[in-house]
Amino acid sequence: MKKLILSFVLIIISALSTNLYAQSPEESCQIIESEIKDGIYTKFSVNSNGILTYVWTDKKSDSETILTIDLTKITVSKDVSSRGYRVFINCIDGIDCVNERGKLGTDETYYSDFSKTYLPANDEKGMVTIYNQMVFLLKLGNTNR
């Protein structure tokens, strides 16, 4: 009986100590940003309409763009391949819902729409964490509309 109670207590402690789910959109954005490989994406935020925005920066090409994604129009999935650990963001029905604008090299007015993108993670744990946070934000974005 003591072993059963001890096991139950340990399970509860481990569940509470894992930081897989955020309590707020701001916390979720911070968690996602901390798991991005090489820190290429920063300044994650979600507004009350369920729009996720973040910044892509490439110092080599002197580029910086803002990506905007409507969370009510996407699905997310995990992928492990030779290219690393990634969380894919796919627009429902292939309709472009990922918008990117900003400075790309010498083009100061870069603008493009995409039907998918991905968030790279450092490792499998980071991929799972990003995925779980994106699911949290998806639910939140769909609830707010």
Question: Distance (Å, rounded) from C-alpha 86 to C-alpha 80?
Answer: 6
63 assigned to some structural domain: yes
Among positive and negative, which fits the CA dihedral 90, 95, 99, 103? positive
57 assigned to some structural domain: yes
Across the range 15-24, mean pLDDT stands at: 58
8 assigned to some structural domain: no
1 assigned to some structural domain: no
4 assigned to some structural domain: no
Cα 41 to Cα 4, 34, 129, 143: the distances in Å are 45, 10, 16, 26
Could you tell me the residue range of the domain that residue 26 belongs to?
22-144
Is the confidence at residue 113, as pLDDT, over 70? yes
Alpha helices in 18-112 (DSSP H): 25-35
pLDDT tens digits, one per residue of 34-46:
999 998 999 999 9
31 assigned to some structural domain: yes
Please tell me what DSSP assigns to residue 36. B
pTM over 0.95, yes/no: no
Number of domain units in the chain: 1
pLDDT tens digits, one per residue of 53-102:
999 999 888 899 999 999 999 999 999 999 999 999 999 988 889 999 99
Give 123's contacts (C-beta < 8 A, 6+ positions apart).
Answer: 85
109 assigned to some structural domain: yes
Question: Distance (Å, rounded) from C-alpha 105 to C-alpha 18?
Answer: 40
Which among 64, 65, 69, 38 is positioned nearest to 134, based on CA atoms? Answer: 69
Question: Distance (Å, rounded) from C-alpha 104 to C-alpha 30?
Answer: 25
